[in-house]
């Protein structure tokens, strides 16, 4: 059985649906700190779980005979910068609980890292798989610590830990909460609903992005990969594109010529974005487990606008 924490979040809500499709609805136990009535809470087992409660997590994983742990519950970069100590306690407390439960029950383990695990002294263009990591955000400190902790559990206890450094993820099912790359999701919602968007990230600020379907495939592919082929484990760079707000806007205007992009730069999230790479090198993931993104910017834009527009039309009819 697969236990997923943070199952109602941007990644979790879609990953649970995919895992239930692949392995069977009864194989996936979705958990989150609160039940918000999302379809995921009705399409299979759902339990409320606060990941900072290690005992509750152990009891739940044991009760469901979990053999795989997908730990997604965390605060993202912008929120973590506003509440650094809460972020440390939730992001690191939750992670060490999930690792301990997995060690005790012998679960295979996945948790995401992020391009946020890099800092201003990291080479910014085509950032290597192995390079300096001195992030200047609490989220980045959590991600680097998390990568090292997952490697430790692998080397010390033989726990089969695996992880991916995700770029900004773009999706239309569940909005992200408190991220720096959220502008790249909001821009599509705003294009469909208002025909215009004021970006909180400035023109010319390049960051890696990827469409959610590619992220979900990457998680399944890595978890199913032959362990003997993995030279790395807990921090594979992956990416599909490196874009700035202007590039996304131009892509949207190919479908909606009247779309208007303006700027209302948020200095806090701009500073976070500027501390991250412009583009990263994903060759290790391609080599070691066959990672390959299938959506480029224009394919993602077409699908995002089509999905959001049809939802908008349905809402209008309702």
Stretch that binds ligand VAH, among 39-47, 59-67, 112-120, 296-304 (CB under 6 A): 112-120
Among 12, 140, 176, 245, interactor with ligand VAH by CB under 6 A: 176
| Per-residue x/- track, 8-37, ligand VAH (CB under 6 A) | ------------------------------
- Which CB, 217 or 309, lies closer to ligand VAH? 217
Least distance from ligand VAH to the Cβ atom of residue 77, Å: 3
Kindly state whether residue 174 participates in binding ligand VAH, applying the rule CB under 6 A.
Answer: no
- Which CB, 44 or 167, lies closer to ligand VAH? 167
Among 6, 140, 163, 168, interactor with ligand VAH by CB under 6 A: 168
Which residues are 169's β-sheet partners?
210
Least distance from ligand VAH to the Cβ atom of residue 26, Å: 31
Among 76, 150, 304, 305, interactor with ligand VAH by CB under 6 A: 76
CA–CA gap between residue 247 and residue 266 (Å, rounded) = 19
- Which CB, 114 or 234, lies closer to ligand VAH? 114
Kindly state whether residue 115 participates in binding ligand VAH, applying the rule CB under 6 A.
Answer: yes
Among 94, 140, 167, 245, interactor with ligand VAH by CB under 6 A: 167
Catalytic residues: 139
Least distance from ligand VAH to the Cβ atom of residue 293, Å: 15
Contacts of 231 (CB under 8 A, 6+ apart): 284, 288
DSSP conformational letter for 201: S
Kindly state whether residue 180 participates in binding ligand VAH, applying the rule CB under 6 A.
Answer: yes
Which letter, b or e, does each residue of 243-264 get, where b requires 16 or more Cβ atoms within 10 Å of its Cβ?
bbbebbbebbeeeeeebebeee
Please state the separation of Cα 111 from the chain's center in Å. Answer: 9
- Alpha carbon separation from 110 to 28, 143, 198, 207 (Å, rounded): 14, 13, 35, 24
317 by Cβ neighbours in 10 Å (0-12 / 13-18 / 19+) ranks as exposed
Among 44, 135, 179, 277, interactor with ligand VAH by CB under 6 A: 179
Among 5, 68, 77, 122, interactor with ligand VAH by CB under 6 A: 77
| Per-residue x/- track, 129-148, ligand VAH (CB under 6 A) | ----------x---------
- Which CB, 68 or 181, lies closer to ligand VAH? 181
Stretch that binds ligand VAH, among 108-116, 190-198, 214-222, 228-236 (CB under 6 A): 108-116
Q: Is the dihedral of CA 248, 127, 155, 145 positive or negative?
A: negative
CA–CA gap between residue 284 and residue 267 (Å, rounded) = 34
CA atoms within 13 Å, Cβ hemisphere of 104: 15
DSSP 108-175: EEE--EEGGG--TTS--SSB-SS------SHHHHHHHHHHHHHHHHHHHH---EEEEEE-EEE-SSS-
Longest distance between any two alpha carbons in the chain, whole Å: 57
Kindly state whether residue 116 participates in binding ligand VAH, applying the rule CB under 6 A.
Answer: yes
Among 13, 91, 114, 174, interactor with ligand VAH by CB under 6 A: 114
Applying CB under 6 A, the residues found at the interface with ligand VAH are 76-77, 114-116, 139, 166-168, 176, 179-181
């Amino acid at each position: 059985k697969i236990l997923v924490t943070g199952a109602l979040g941007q990644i979790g809500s879609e990953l649970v649906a995919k895992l239930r499709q692949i392995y069977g609805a009864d194989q996936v136990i979705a958990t989150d700190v609160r039940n918000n009535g999302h379809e995921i809470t009705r399409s299979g087992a759902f339990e409320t779980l606060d990941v900072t409660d290690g005992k509750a997590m152990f009891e739940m994983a044991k009760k469901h005979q979990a053999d795989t742990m997908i730990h997604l519950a965390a605060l993202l970069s912008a929120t973590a910068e506003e509440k650094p100590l809460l972020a440390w306690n939730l992001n690191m407390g939750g992670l060490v609980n999930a690792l301990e439960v997995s060690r005790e029950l012998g679960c295979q383990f996945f948790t995401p890292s992020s391009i946020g695990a890099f800092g201003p002294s990291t080479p910014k263009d085509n950032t290597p798989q192995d390079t300096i990591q001195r992030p200047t955000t609490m989220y980045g400190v959590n991600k680097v610590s998390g990568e090292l902790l997952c490697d430790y559990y692998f080397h010390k206890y033989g726990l089969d830990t695996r992880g991916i450094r995700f770029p900004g993820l773009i999706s239309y099912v569940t909005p992200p909460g408190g991220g720096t790359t959220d502008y790249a999701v909001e821009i599509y919602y705003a294009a469909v609903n208002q025909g215009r968007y004021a970006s909180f990230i400035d023109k010319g600020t390049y960051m890696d992005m990827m469409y959610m379907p590619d992220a979900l495939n990457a998680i399944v592919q890595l978890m199913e990969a032959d362990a003997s082929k993995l030279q790395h484990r807990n921090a594979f760079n992956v990416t599909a594109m490196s874009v700035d707000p202007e590039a996304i806007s131009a892509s949207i205007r190919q479908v909606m010529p009247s779309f208007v992009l303006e700027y209302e730069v948020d200095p806090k999230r701009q500073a976070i974005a500027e501390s991250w790479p412009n583009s990263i090198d994903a060759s290790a993931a391609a080599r070691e487990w066959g990672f390959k993104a299938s959506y480029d910017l224009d394919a993602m834009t077409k699908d995002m606008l089509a999905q959001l527009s049809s939802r908008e039309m349905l809402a209008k009819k309702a």
